[in-house]
Amino acid sequence: MDTKPLILVTNDDGITAPGIRTLISVMETLGQVVVVAPDSPQSGMGHAITVNNTLYLNKISKEDSLTQEYSCSGTPADCVKLAVNEILKRKPDLCVSGINHGSNSSINVIYSGTMSAAVEAGIEGIPAIGFSLSDFSWNANFEPLIPFVKKIAEQVLKNGLPEGTVLNVNFPKPKLGEIKGIKICRQANALWVEKFDKRQTPFGKDYYWLTGEFVNKDKGEDTDEWALSNGFAAIVPIQFDMTAHHAIQTLNSWELS
Residues 125 to 184: which contact its own copies by CB under 8 A?
151-152, 155, 159, 161-162, 164-165, 167, 181-182, 184
Shortest CB 66 distance to its own copies, Å: 24
- Omega before residue 20 within 30° of 0, cis: no
Cβ distance to its own copies smaller for residue 9 or 109 = 109
Task: Name residues contacting its own copies, limited to 42-81 (CB under 8 A).
Answer: 43-52, 54-57, 77-78, 81
Q: Does 235 bind its own copies (CB under 8 A)?
A: yes
Which segment (18-26, 139-147, 171-179, 204-212) binds its own copies by CB under 8 A? 204-212
Q: How far apart are CA 65 and CA 61, in angstroms?
A: 6
Cβ distance to its own copies smaller for residue 49 or 176 = 49
Cβ distance to its own copies smaller for residue 1 or 124 = 124
**Among positions 1, 63, 139, 248, the unique one binding its own copies when judged by CB under 8 A:** 248
Length of the chain: 257
Shortest CB 7 distance to its own copies, Å: 19
Of 104, 147, 111, nearest in space to 129 by CA? 104
Task: Name residues contacting its own copies, limited to 11-30 (CB under 8 A).
Answer: none
Cβ distance to its own copies smaller for residue 85 or 139 = 85
* Element spanning 26, H or E: helix 18-27
Instruction: Give the residues across from 168 on adjacent strands.
Output: 130, 236
User: Exposed, middle or buried, 75 (CB in 10 Å: 0-12/13-18/19+)?
Assistant: buried
Radius of gyration of the chain (CA): 19
Q: How far apart are CA 15 and CA 99, in angstroms?
A: 11
